[in-house]
A = this chain, B = another copy of it.
Amino acid sequence: MKVITLGTSGAVPTLKRSLPAAALQREGEIFLFDCGEGTQMQLMKAKLSIYKVEKIFISHLHGDHVVGLPGLLMSLGQTPREKPLFIYGPRGIKDYVLANKKHLNFHCEYELLLREVKEGIISEEDKYRFEAVALDHNHLSLGYALIEKERPGKFSVEKAKSLGLEEGPLFGKLQRGEDIKLENGKVIHPRDVLGKPRRGRKVIYATDTRPCPGVAKLSQGADVLIHDGMFSQQEEKEARERGHSTVTQVARMAKDAGVNRLILTHISSRYPDDNLLLKEARTIFPSAIIGRDLMEIEVPLP
């Protein structure tokens, strides 16, 4: 699994930073967080096929986070697509997409599923789920988390053999969680040969927002936290007024929550040199990253 920061600016684009969007690539699927203007071009530059985008999560209805949607939906319509496309967002996302579909008179031959959501679990799949969390911005905003389910523990070949099993298809059955009955009538359960279940990964996307308890709680032990880091601590007042965070505030929160990787994004155009922000964040969270367009961050299995 990897995170690709497609657009890392805030409010307005710069020559170096495109408008907000981040991709999460997991086993052939792509999930998109926000879709600022130019996201379809950034996907292309990142060599990520738009046709592999399965779900799009929009944080809020400010233009810098959503103007790239109509163009992406139109481009998706150029090639047949069998799978539906899900778009999740707060109240208003449906009207925005439908109004643009109407005025631009474009058709989605694929199934377009628009989901206006609130806090909580918003999508449940076999191996993972997505949760939404309320943010603290000047406009109704949501953060999102991909949370993988536990994977079975490590298979102990040694234990299996000591129980009389030989390497073969029965190993696979146990690994998949099925009980095995031997010829002598003895039953072997997966728990007899598997170690403790291994935790899944957790990736969180939270912008635009002030630091807020919901994100802090959700971030406990997160593998990756991508968070609003629009300002330096020197602009704390402005950050608060405009509904954003300083990198210092976020570094502290991430440290307290035991986050593994912190990626700060939605960087204000007033910092053409982001080293000031980097130093500030790293004073508190030594491995913090100031997101730059088209960075790829691996999220290894625990």
A216 CB to nearest B CB, Å: 28
Q: Is A40 an interface residue (CB 8 A)?
A: yes
Taking CB atoms, residues of chain B closer than 8 Å to A61 are 103-105
Smallest CB separation, A103 vs chain B (Å): 4
Q: Is A123 an interface residue (CB 8 A)?
A: no
- The reply to whether B45 and A15 form a contact with Cβ atoms under 8 Å apart is yes
Asked if A128 CB lies within 8 Å of chain B CBs, one says no
Pick out which of these stretches binds chain B: A93-101, A163-171, A201-209, A277-285: A93-101
Q: For the complex, give the distance between the alpha carbons of A61 and B74 in Å.
A: 13
Instruction: Write out, one digit per residue, whether chain A residues 35-71 have a CB within 8 A of any chain B CB (1) or not (0).
Output: 0011011001100000000000000011110111011
- Does more than half of chain A's interface fall in helix, strand or loop, or is it mixed? loop
Please give the number of chain A residues whose Cβ is less than 8 angstroms from any Cβ of chain B in the complex: 35
Give A140 Cβ to nearest chain B Cβ, in Å: 10
Contact of A44 among B11, B15, B96 (CB under 8 A): B15
A75 to B37 Cα, complex, angstroms:
12
Confirm or deny: A271 has a beta carbon within 8 angstroms of a beta carbon on chain B: no
Asked whether A275 is an interface residue with its Cβ less than 8 Å from the other chain, the reply is no
Whether, in the assembled complex, A78 has its beta carbon less than 8 Å from a beta carbon of chain B, the answer is yes
Taking the closest CB of chain B, its distance from the CB of A201, in whole angstroms, is 31
Whether A75 contacts B38 by the Cβ 8 Å rule is no
How many copies of the polypeptide does the oligomer hold? 2
For A15, the chain B residues whose CB sits under 8 A away are 44-45
Bound complex: CA A168 to CA B19 (Å): 56
Report whether B63 and A71 are in contact in the complex, using a CB–CB cutoff of 8 Å: yes
Task: Closest B residue to A65 by CB, please name it.
Answer: B104
- A229 close to chain B: CB less than 8 A: no
Asked if A18 is at the interface (CB within 8 A of a chain B CB), the reply is yes
A258 beta carbon closer than 8 Å to chain B: no
B67 touches A70 (CB 8 A): yes
**Distance of A207 from chain B, by nearest CB (Å):** 17
Judged by a CB distance under 8 angstroms, whether A139 is at the interface is yes
* A92 and B96 contact, CB distance less than 8 A: no
Residues of B with C-beta under 8 A to A63: 70-71, 74, 100, 104, 106
A interface, CB within 8 angstroms of B: 11-15, 18-19, 37-38, 40-41, 44-45, 61-64, 66-68, 70-71, 74-75, 78, 92, 95-96, 99-100, 103-106, 139
